[in-house]
Structure 1
């Protein structure tokens, strides 16, 4: 997992054309596309609706609000304050929900998904900036404060082990997509595609059929009332390009994962779950191990996997 955004390796190839009988019966409405940012990644909303600009503005406001929960780059976000203080009173519901999901994926993947790698990530990032390898002493200090057992979660307080810190960039983009989906569904919308760096579809393509999502490694995944997330170990690296090491860290080894996988795509009912599982999948040495981990969650599927 990384404190900087993973390079997104999915693109949607739906053209903005006139649509028959889309969101409003009897109307020919164009496919409206809003673009912005969510936790450093490109964010896109696609829908056909007469009030699409106003809906898009509400989505943009909700993303901004959620950045105040999950962002590591906003000093006063809930996550930043938790990392700085080691405890957070009356935490936002969204943070509690995200950490609850993270704990489930941590357990199901035998610790491969571990948001407490933030101190380790910082050591590797600082070493890469300085053009050197991380020192053994720095790595040992980071590993000493890691571990999900050092995270105490209660409705009124979250507490970390002294010196610990969390990164949620392997799950929070998906969680944001889910929250946007909940917001729009509560307004009665369907036939919407949400992309916050991970995809969440409400219904299908208003032109008919599923939303067609093309994978960078080849092929496409049809998406309807479902979420899709992709992780690429070399999508972002410590160092320059392909010569650098993967930004996804193995919490047990304390090192970047070997780049055995080029790209792994996972679908699920929840974008947060798909996001976390696609991240954890990069740490498995075999496809069989990945499938076994996904099998612990109802409805999850390995949509695509390719070797480096």
Structure 2
């Protein structure tokens, strides 16, 4: 049975609450096309004002980066070719450029025209020729795309949102929480999370403390007969599932982008990129369902 991406991500969030550190509050919602959740530990539950702040932050980020909202900043940028550069867009572009450089261009947000061509039966060759993050220019207060280019932050936006919600909760005094905005961040911990592959099912588990975890699985969704993680240079995915763990605060966006690109890279190149990006662990599931780590 093939799991949908949303169901796959939900199953991978298996938080373990011991009797001494029981989950005292849980909130679930929907954002960026997937189920999202917060799990809190300790004596303090999620108060209403803080919950409303979380929801407001999520909606604000969707207004920045959603491809499904024609009024979002990203939709306007794709339609017009240029747009004022918000602080959030600057941050997500900075991280995109970093991972793009380390992965030899395999993480590239300018993949959107190729996605649209596959989904709509367009010219795939022409669309692939538009890919190239180096053609996106930035000044102090605006961004401009190359001719015909469009951006998608689907490989990083959920991780970025996870980081933002983690900061919000931390500043409001929450010290024990598991944030799932499509990728995971732990305040405190440990939290037990499953290692899951859409084809092979659950293969193991890890404990996450004060860090982030992101998972990408090319076959969890298809578009135009291809896996949803598209190779900018025309290759095919090399792994069934990649899970990346990064220690410290503010690491979910990095883990998200890295897990996306690592699906397209051989093990030796992943190991080099892991070191350059300062990642803690990488779990790889091959097409036969075998789990390994580095």
State the TM-score, normalizing by the size of structure 1.
Answer: 0.83
User: Any conservation in 2 of the 1:234–1:259 contact (CA below 8 Å)?
Assistant: no
2:290 match: none
Instruction: Look up the match of 1:295.
Output: 275
Task: Give 3-state SS (helix, strand or coil) of 2:70's partner.
Answer: coil
CA apart distance, 1:180: 0.6
Shift of 1:40: 0.4
In structure 2, what is the equivalent of residue 130 of structure 1? none
Structure 2: stretches of 5+ with no match in the other structure: 198-202, 288-294
User: CA shift at 1:214, angstroms?
Assistant: 0.8
The count of residues paired between Structure 1 and Structure 2 equals 273
Q: Choose from 72, 76, 94 the match for 1:81.
A: 76
| 1:281 and 2:259 matched | no
Q: What SS does the corresponding residue of 2:57 show, helix, strand or coil?
A: helix
1:131 maps to which residue? none
Match of 1:226 among 197, 211, 214: 211
Select the residue among 279, 285, 290 that pairs with 1:306: 285
SS at match of 2:276: coil
Instruction: Map residues 148-159 of structure 1 onto 2, 5 A cutoff.
Output: 148-159=133-144
Q: 2:244 aligns with which of 248, 259, 266?
A: 266
Q: C-alpha distance in 2, partners of 1:139/1:200?
A: 36
- Give distance in 1, aligned partners of 2:17 and 2:210: 20
Aligned CA distance change for structure 1 residues 124 and 182 (closer, same or farther; 3 Å): same
How far does residue 16 in structure 1 lie from its aligned partner after superposition?
7.0
Q: Which runs of 5+ in 1 are unaligned?
A: 23-28, 128-133, 205-209
Are 1:40 and 2:19 counterparts?
Answer: no
Equivalent residue number for residue 14 of structure 2? 13
CA contact (8 A) 1:123 1:139 kept: yes
Counterpart CA distance in 1 for 2:14 and 2:118 is 36
Q: Tell me if 1:144 matches 2:129.
A: yes
SS for the counterpart of 1:219 is: strand
Q: CA deviation at 1:300?
A: 3.6
Q: Are the counterparts in 1 of residues 244 and 279 from structure 2 also a CA contact under 8 Å?
A: no
In 2, Cα distance between the equivalents of 1:238 and 1:51? 41
Map residues 1-308 of structure 1 onto 2, 5 A cutoff.
8-9=8-9, 10-14=11-15, 20=20, 31-48=24-41, 50-54=44-48, 55-89=50-84, 91-127=85-121, 138-204=123-189, 210-217=190-197, 218-238=203-223, 244-253=225-234, 257-269=235-247, 270-284=251-265, 286-302=266-282, 304-308=283-287
Larger Rg computed on CA atoms: 1
